[in-house]
Structure 1
Amino acid sequence: MFLGRFEHNLDDKSRIIIPAKYRELIKSGAYVTQGFDRNLMVLTTEVFERVVTYLNELGMTNPDARTLKRLIFSSASPVTFDKLGRFLIPAYLREFARIENHVILVGVGDYFEIWSKEEWLKQESSLQNAEVNEHRFAAFEIHTR
């Protein structure tokens, strides 16, 4: 499971080092694709294949389904590591996520996200708003048993 948060810098060739604990979880392969919140998502091959199966079952006549397929498939790229554990984030994904140098990697359970530091600070501010969270998460009824 992808947990925690890590701050890194891109190197001069726009590569990013993935923390060892995340690399261990994606050693059988992964894909990076556009996220839904001005971020990137890195999904293991297994999770990505589940998403692909689901998306391919959606009807072609549904305009929202077509849009979602375009968003995910057109921006997806396999993650390929060099021997130092770095991978290149494609330029079109860096542009979308507004990534220039500083990035934040955020564990989200089955996958992790990559954020520009500036975009993550906006997201974090929203996440830390207790008054909003009180209403935002009420319908989930999270139980410990």
Structure 2
Amino acid sequence: MTTSTKPAPSELHKFLFEGLPVRGMLVRLDESWKELLGRRKEPLTPAVRDLLGQMTAAGVLMQANIKFNGALVFQVMGDGPLKLAVVEVQPDMSFRSTAKTREAVPDDATLQQMLNVHGQGRCAITLDPKDRLPGQQPYQGVVPLSGPD
């Protein structure tokens, strides 16, 4: 099961509450998400679609906040029916999202049930610089998925 496209978010807004130490960012993927889903030959199950949508929004927000000149890759992989979900966001906020399954994922599956059935789930974030120096490797952090859903 694979979905790929390079749309950009429909909206990306930064906000700040005057006089308070509060700031944030809002992203909406409306049209770009519909475009991504519309290119699929087979629909995603609701659980996979929701996870991939949340990951895509999170990836766009991370890329917008770090202002990194390169690709930000956010992925989860595991030992459940969902083998892998990956989002790549470029500095111009264009993105690609992909999900691969081993078997059918129940419509109401939790993250634990999709990816971490036997405790082998992992989450990775990779920063791949656009203009890497010779011998320079991408930066990557990998952590286990743990705890309740």
TM-score (norm 1): 0.25
When you count helix as a share of all residues, which structure comes out higher?
Answer: 1
TM-score, normalised by the number of residues in structure 2: 0.24
Q: Larger % of strand: which?
A: 2
